[in-house]
Amino acid sequence: MANRGKLFVVSGPAGAGKSEIVKALLKKHSDVGLSVSCTTRAPREGEINGVSYHFVTEERFQELIDQNAFYEWAHVHQNRYGTLKSAVEEGLNAGRDLILEIDVQGCLQVLKQNPDATGVFICPPSRENLEKRLRNRGTETEESIRVRLGNVAREVNTAYQYDYVIVHQDWDDVSNALEIAVDELYAIITAKRLEKKNRIGFLDSLSESLLK
């Protein structure tokens, strides 16, 4: 029977670069999977239903809430996001390590419900850099940028409740900032895999063989 997989919840302010980091890590390391969330927001250009998100209507989202189908869900910037319990549990029970990339509200819900989950906060190097990243997306309205920046202070204050903090440096200042952040995130995953509690079976077997 495969060991149960580990859940890594990656979050941080919008525009901090968590999506880029997770996408690059999954491309580089095929041994880590992604849990795909549901959302009521409209797809952005290039996003694929079932791959980027499960895009559902407000009515369908409410049905799933009523069915207690979500591991967590939250209102974020006038839309709702949620993680299906069935999708997460299926992957973990199969021994797959999963990354759950969600907003801060949802992350705190997961960490509260699942003490085995590892919280990783992706932090921008400065407010100025965060605003620049939001504007460079080209997908945000001025109103959306204003709302998101207004939430930054509250979101950064939640970082104290996470297990790890990664500072995603400004690409103009650090040319390999994305690569550094990806390597740091994978180092966290590797460290969790190497914890003693995950090596008890091996240690028992080795100790027994040495005593023969």
Question: What is the tens place of the pLDDT at every residue in 134-190?
Answer: 787 777 788 888 887 878 878 888 999 999 999 999 988 999 999 999 999 999 999
The total number of residues written for the chain in this structure: 212
Report the amino acid identity of residue 129: N
pLDDT tens profile 86-125: 888 888 998 999 999 988 888 888 888 888 899 999 999 9
Whether residue 192 is predicted with pLDDT greater than 60 in this model: the reply is yes
pLDDT beyond 60 at 1: no
Q: What is the mean pLDDT of the chain?
A: 89
Cα distance between residue 168 and residue 122, in whole Å: 7
Q: Please, are residues 117 and 7 in contact by the beta-carbon 8 Å criterion? A: yes
3-state secondary structure of 39: strand
How do 79-84 and 38-39 pair as beta strands? antiparallel
Q: What is the C-alpha to C-alpha distance for residues 122 and 13, in angstroms, rounded to an integer?
A: 8
What does the pLDDT average to over 186-207? 93
